């Protein structure tokens, strides 16, 4: 089976497993796990932040970041299609008593004019506007990358109003490879950054939240509260460290594969690509109702050995990753050509 549903479906490579099995570990909650410390220090340094903290998931790093920046009754701003708003069960409301205000983006990206004057007045009738959250790359935006200059302008505008900035950088590695800039440059405008090792980098589990030492100290308390404290998690940190050393530069290959998939889909008038030339490793397209539904397309592909995700009634998402070779991409394109004629 060629699995293009997500870049989270990868399995650890033999060398990654070897690194995990030889990790030096300890109890990360009682005192220290040396491999976790090494991962946290390396991640903080790559992102140009004072400190970082390892957690089980990107959902947890995002939600704990919101909790560190905001208090119950506060409001944060985010783009309407972002992961934090759409795919985390409204945890910001359930767990931290926060209100979200969504702004409509273009392929997930906001423009600086949308942030001008966005802070609510200091008035007892109103919630306090505390935080702006951006997502880079943008999942529902088809893996869209935020240009450096745009994040700078958005964050400067927010900061001028006393609003802090958090980045959901689950796939920030992809953005850095696509733009040819450093992770530190991408992270610079933000007070906190969440990154995932379990997506394009191919580790089985884990994310880090990076920011000031003070923010990370608060995050460590919240991680315990949310049940995210882990014991000998150095085995997992070892996989993430291995991924940082070996799996970033190769993302360029995934981006090339995504362009090949997009080229195949573009051959059929019944399919409309969100981006004819995807920025990174995600391809999203709409299926004309006359052809059928996204479920029809996904089922027909699965029957021919290719898994894709029905992302909505008429839309499909495909994600390239470490476990899909060039030969498999070519095989998948062949299947799309066969399936597309089945309307």
| Residues making contact with ligand PLP (CB under 6 A) | 57-59, 62, 83, 135, 139, 168, 170, 196, 198, 207
Min dist. Cβ of residue 143 to ligand PLP (A): 10
Strand ranges across the sheet with 51-55? 51-55, 207-211, 192-196, 164-169, 128-135, 74-79, 99-103
What is the CA 59 to chain-centroid distance, rounded? 10
Beta carbon nearer to ligand PLP, 134 or 261? 134
Contact (CB, 8 A) for 279 and 137: yes
CA dist 51 and 29 (Å) reads: 17
Min dist. Cβ of residue 34 to ligand PLP (A): 24
Give, for 76, the enclosing helix (H) or strand (E). strand 74-79
* CB closest to ligand PLP, residue no: 58
Beta carbon nearer to ligand PLP, 57 or 293? 57
Beta carbon nearer to ligand PLP, 57 or 263? 57
Beta carbon nearer to ligand PLP, 244 or 339? 244
What is the CA 26 to chain-centroid distance, rounded? 29
Min dist. Cβ of residue 190 to ligand PLP (A): 14
Beta carbon nearer to ligand PLP, 204 or 234? 204
Min dist. Cβ of residue 340 to ligand PLP (A): 27
Beta carbon nearer to ligand PLP, 135 or 253? 135
Beta carbon nearer to ligand PLP, 55 or 262? 55
Min dist. Cβ of residue 125 to ligand PLP (A): 33
Min dist. Cβ of residue 61 to ligand PLP (A): 8
**DSSP structure string for 133-195:** EEESSBTTTTSBPPPHHHHHHHHHHHHHTT-EEEEEETTHHHHHHHHT--HHHHHTT-SEEEE
Q: Mark out the alpha helices in the chain (DSSP H runs).
A: 14-21, 34-47, 58-69, 83-86, 91-96, 148-160, 172-179, 183-187, 213-225, 234-246, 251-265, 294-303, 326-340
CA dist 222 and 218 (Å) reads: 6
Min dist. Cβ of residue 16 to ligand PLP (A): 17
Beta carbon nearer to ligand PLP, 133 or 264? 133
Min dist. Cβ of residue 162 to ligand PLP (A): 26
Contacts for 99 with CB less than 8 Å, ≥ 6 apart: 73, 74, 75, 76, 93, 127
CA dist 26 and 235 (Å) reads: 10
């Amino acid at each position: 089976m060629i699995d293009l549903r997500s870049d989270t479906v990868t399995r650890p490579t033999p060398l990654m497993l070897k690194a995990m099995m030889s990790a030096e570990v300890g109890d990360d909650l009682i005192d220290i796990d040396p491999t976790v410390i090494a991962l946290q220090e390396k991640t903080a340094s790559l992102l140009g932040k004072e400190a970082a903290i390892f957690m089980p998931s990107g959902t947890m790093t995002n939600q704990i970041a919101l909790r560190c920046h905001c208090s119950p009754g506060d409001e944060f701003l985010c783009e309407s299609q972002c992961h934090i708003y759409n795919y985390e069960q409204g945890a910001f409301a359930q767990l931290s008593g926060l209100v979200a205000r969504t702004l409509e983006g273009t392929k997930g990206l906001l423009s600086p004019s949308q942030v001008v004057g966005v802070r609510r007045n200091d008035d007892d009738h109103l919630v306090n506007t505390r935080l702006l959250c951006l997502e880079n790359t943008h999942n529902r935006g088809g893996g869209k990358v935020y240009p450096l200059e745009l994040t700078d302008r958005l964050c400067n505008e927010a900061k001028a109003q006393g609003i802090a900035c958090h980045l959901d950088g689950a796939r920030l590695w992809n953005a850095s490879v696509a733009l040819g800039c450093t992770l530190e440059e991408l992270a610079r405008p933000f007070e906190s950054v969440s990154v995932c090792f379990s997506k394009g980098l191919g580790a089985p589990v884990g994310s880090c939240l990076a920011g000031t030492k003070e923010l990370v100290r608060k995050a460590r308390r919240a991680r315990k509260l949310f049940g995210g404290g882990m014991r000998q998690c150095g085995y997992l940190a070892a996989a993430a460290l291995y991924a940082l050393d070996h799996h970033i530069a190769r993302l360029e290959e995934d981006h090339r594969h995504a362009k090949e998939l997009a080229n195949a889909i573009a051959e059929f008038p019944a399919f409309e690509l969100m981006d004819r030339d995807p920025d990174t490793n995600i391809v999203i397209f709409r299926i004309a109702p006359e052809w059928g539904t996204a479920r029809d397309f996904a089922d027909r592909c699965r029957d021919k050995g290719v898994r894709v995700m029905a992302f909505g009634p008429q839309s499909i998402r495909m994600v390239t990753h470490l476990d899909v070779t060039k030969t498999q991409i070519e095989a998948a394109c062949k299947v799309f050509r066969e399936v597309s004629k089945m309307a």
